[in-house]
Amino acid sequence: MNEYRYTLEPYKGMSTRYHCPDCQEPEKTFSRYIDTETGEHIHPTVGKCNRESNCGYHFKPKQYFQNNNISFDATQPKALKPKFVTPPQKPVSYIPVDVFKASLSPTAYETNHFVKYLITLFGVEVASELVSRYFLATSKHWNGATVYWQIDTYGKIRTGKIMLYSPTTGKRIKNHTTIFIGCIHCLNNPNLS
């Protein structure tokens, strides 16, 4: 699409039409040229009469600039537009693999409340399969807490969500003052084992 710097003012009602400087028609039949960068009219005489067959007045911006010794190609200083600056991205942090592996220790599952509940529900074989399939881990942050690791498509461990469950009901433990949910990145020292 070719956009011009100077164009006839679009019709938005009779307030955008004027009296023709040539034919002096009592009705408003004259369209003025505007500068599309500023939205301002060029001059009251620069425009086109809508009565093409009776009047035919058409004073173009280029003619106006030539008659008044104004450079037609001179660009006027543009108003500065604020540029959107993207903030620098923080480097992605990952959980060390040794912390991840330590949380998957088979001896740690003896204290994991959620794993205990899975064993009572499905038996040791199915519970072990679920633990290995979903990387259910154990945290020392709360006694018996479970860690759900978030692993990206490249196999990097991004974070882990720590939740505490009841070993008998399998429901998440909620206290009146604290809900037992944590995040590995939120903790200074996750104390995983």
- The pLDDT of residue 73 is 58
pLDDT tens per residue, range 142-190: 888 888 888 889 988 888 888 888 888 888 887 644 444 555 655 544 4
Tell me the C-alpha to C-alpha distance, in Å, between residue 154 and each of 92, 131, 150, 158, 186: 13, 21, 11, 10, 23
Query: Is pTM beyond 0.75 here?
Result: no
Distances (CA, A) of 73 to 12, 53, 62, 65: 29, 32, 9, 10
The stretches in the chain having pLDDT less than 50 are: 1, 74, 176-180, 188-193
Residue with tokens 């599309």: 36
The pLDDT score that the predictor gives to residue 5 is 83
Sheet holding 58-59, edge to edge: 6-8, 30-35, 47-49, 58-59
Neighbours of 186 (CB within 10 A): 11
The angle formed by the CA atoms of residues 72, 58 and 69, to the nearest 5 degrees, is: 25
Predicted pLDDT at 42: 86
CA distance 136 to 141: 15
pLDDT attached to residue 9: 87
The DSSP-derived string for 46-78 is: -EEES-TTTT--EE-HHHHHHHTT--SSPPPPP
Quote the pLDDT of residue 129: 92
